[in-house]
Amino acid sequence: MTVQTSARESYRPPYQVTNSAETIMRFPFPFPEDIYMYSMNVEPHIRSGPVAAMRNTFDIDEHYVAECAEKARILQEDPKRCIVLPHMREAEWDFVELAMTTLSDQYPQHFSLRREGLDWHWVNRLLGYEQSFVFGDAGTLPLPPFEYMARQMQGDFTLHDQREDDLWMDGGMVTAQADWSLKFDLGMSFRQWHAPVPKAAEMGVFDRGLRFLLMLQHEKPVRRLNWTMTINPRLDTSPENFMVWGADRASVTPENVADKVHLRVELQTLYRLPRSNAILFSIRCYLMPVRDIMRVGKWRKRLHRVLRDLDPALSSYKGLDLYRQTVVDFLAPYDDGAPLSNGIQPDAEQPENVLAPAA
Amino acid sequence: MIVSSQLPFAPLVLDASGVRHLYVRDEAACPLPEGCGAATPEVWTVVSDATAMADTGEGEVLLRSATALLERLAGRLARERVGLRLYAAGGASFLARVAIVADAAGLGTGEVQFAPPRDVARRVVCVHCDTLNEGVAADTVRCLGCGTTLFVREHYSRGLGAYMGVGEPEILLQAMEAAARHG
Ligand code: HEM
């Protein structure tokens, strides 16, 4: 994957984010079927999958530099987006190790790590960082270990202590969230932080999900896709800033729908951490405008069907009610109703041009 | 199954596995836990009266305010050993504050009981500016800190002892109203 080394993009007004053909084709489109409902959609996070975004431990793409810059800006504006409770110190180092070893191993052109006992040397060529430090000695890093590393990665991360047969929201860095708040959910149990979600608890999804995660093993990570929609390419759709971005939901028209409305997909991966026995939850967010989704035949037809038939409780929880019909009406002429293959993989090698390019 | 992040409210029943029992309430009208007699709990009651003296002999301990009771409770729990059972009754806000004190002292899930709250005046924290708004009986409240009209989400943080309050931009409210009118 080609990574731009300077951040020309903007994830806030005036918005400026574009996706290359490669980024479109590697997008983790979240719908394996024409109908969507919550389910226990968890599978092993192995280094293969239907699209390229799923084939790395932590996925780095062309938006890396711009996303890290936006994350730094959000943390500057609101330091409470990064909180780690004191008993998670060991998990912080587990995270540093997992991130540095896998990134340097899978992207040697961008990252390198030299280890001599506890003396480590980290190089991040994309952001221009170089750091010698003693593994396990927080005083040798410029920031607390979790914060130091999470700032150098796309997406959000949370750390979960495991006790009393439950998982606890005991730390994280959350700057690109779909309308939930780390400072509010801090210290909650698995069922508590999921309380606002409709239907899933009654369906047994959370009971099964929790039972499964409690048994998660080191070096056997798992993954799932979650999705919502976002108006404009905005990473920070936090409740903290809802008064800033919420009104965008009322701005969709038949004329601007293809460019304004984005499918927001979270590639969620979960890891058991070896020393602390904590769980790391990684939420890698992908924003794809309807205009780009249109360029894959299977995806535009399936998005039309899923949105048209979406359960009203899910539509309302995800905040789609004001513009879902506008999107469905826009997509309908491009769906011939032909059967589509199961799974999320695209049905072509290259994106096609269906719409005239954005003005 | 009702799933909620709110406190696990249930009628109070004296727990025979406890060695010592402490009952705290923000009003004398709150009834004693069921099963009192087999063992008698110590009772602490808020009387909202600046002349109340806490240490007058035996029986009920009278406290001048909820804050006074909670401070005393924190001190007491710091000195307690295993075997204590804590029971709390009163308004939603008082119970939220008891939970914070009990959690800070490390009491486990089985060691504390909360009676169903006797009022609906909740604490609401503003997610935009972190101000804690006390005694919110309605579904909305004007935030004391930033002036935003907060809508109370059905999401409770035991750590903060408060529900989440989130504003709605005016344009959104109007659009939703219009959508509801036109069906
Ligand atoms: C440690 C692991 C996990 C964390 C930290 C986590 C966190 C969250 C959070 C913060 C939310 C938003 C809740 C809100 O509205 O405030 C959420 C939503 C949700 N979670 Fe999880 N979750 C985890 C694991 C799982 C698992 C294993 C499943 C299912 C098997 C699951 C299913 C869901 C669903 C269905 C939603 C609603 C999403 C939507 O409609 O947009 N979660 N999760």
Q: Please, how many CA atoms are within 13 Å of residue A187, restricted to the half-sphere of its CB?
A: 13
| pLDDT over 90 at B38, yes or no | no
User: Residue B2 has what pLDDT?
Assistant: 39
CA–CA gap between residue B120 and residue B142 (Å, rounded): 17
DSSP category for residue B31: P
Tally of domains within chain A: 1
Pocket test for ligand 1, best of A168, A197, A272, A283 (most atoms within 8 A of CB): A197
Beta carbon of A63 within 6 Å of any ligand 1 atom? no
Q: How confident is the model at residue B108 (pLDDT cuts 50, 70, 90)?
A: confident
Asked, for residue A342, whether it belongs to a domain, the answer is no
pLDDT in tens, B138-164: 999 999 999 999 999 999 999 999 999
* Contact call for A243 and B167, based on CB within 8 A: yes
Asked, for residue A143, whether it belongs to a domain, the answer is yes
**Is the separation of the CB atoms in B44 and B63 below 8 Å?**
yes
Asked, for residue A252, whether it belongs to a domain, the answer is yes
What is the A191 CA–ligand 1 centroid distance (Å)?
9
| pLDDT over 60 at A55, yes or no | yes
Asked, for residue A245, whether it belongs to a domain, the answer is yes
pLDDT in tens, A151-183: 999 999 999 999 999 999 999 999 999 999 999
A300 a catalytic residue: no
Where residue B150 falls (left for φ over 0; alpha for ψ -120 to 50; beta otherwise) is: beta
* Contact call for B157 and A187, based on CB within 8 A: yes
| pLDDT over 80 at B1, yes or no | no
ipTM over 0.90: yes
pLDDT in tens, B64-73: 999 999 999 9
Q: What is the mean pLDDT of residues B76-83?
A: 93
Residues spanned by the domain of A315? 21-334
Burial class (CB in 10 A: 0-12, 13-18, 19+), B34: exposed
Where residue A155 falls (left for φ over 0; alpha for ψ -120 to 50; beta otherwise) is: left
pLDDT in tens, A247-303: 999 999 999 999 999 999 999 999 999 999 999 999 999 999 999 999 999 999 999
User: Residue B6 has what pLDDT?
Assistant: 86
User: Residue A6 has what pLDDT?
Assistant: 67
| pLDDT over 70 at A358, yes or no | no
User: Residue A201 has what pLDDT?
Assistant: 96
What is the A76 CA–ligand 1 centroid distance (Å)?
26
User: Residue A4 has what pLDDT?
Assistant: 73
Q: How confident is the model at residue B53 (pLDDT cuts 50, 70, 90)?
A: confident
For residue B159, list chain A residues with Cβ-Cβ distance below 8 A: 186-188
User: Residue A3 has what pLDDT?
Assistant: 78
pLDDT in tens, A300-353: 999 999 999 999 999 999 999 999 999 999 999 999 999 999 999 999 999 999
CA–CA gap between residue B23 and residue B113 (Å, rounded): 9
Sign, CA dihedral B94-B100-B102-B103, equals: positive
CA–CA gap between residue A204 and residue B10 (Å, rounded): 23
Closest CA to B121 of B96, B91, B97, B86: B91
C-alpha radius of gyration, chain A, whole number: 20
* Contact call for B109 and A242, based on CB within 8 A: no
| pLDDT over 90 at A147, yes or no | yes
Q: How confident is the model at residue B183 (pLDDT cuts 50, 70, 90)?
A: low
- Tokens standing for residue A209: 């999900």
| pLDDT over 70 at B4, yes or no | no
User: Residue A5 has what pLDDT?
Assistant: 67
Q: How confident is the model at residue A357 (pLDDT cuts 50, 70, 90)?
A: confident
Closest CA to A141 of A161, A118, A157, A162: A118
What is the A238 CA–ligand 1 centroid distance (Å)?
15
pLDDT in tens, A182-236: 999 999 999 999 999 999 999 999 999 999 999 999 999 999 999 999 999 999 9
Q: How confident is the model at residue B57 (pLDDT cuts 50, 70, 90)?
A: low
pLDDT in tens, A97-135: 999 999 999 999 999 999 999 999 999 999 999 999 999
What percent of chain B is predicted at pLDDT more than 90?
A: 81
> pTM, whole model, 2 decimals?
0.95
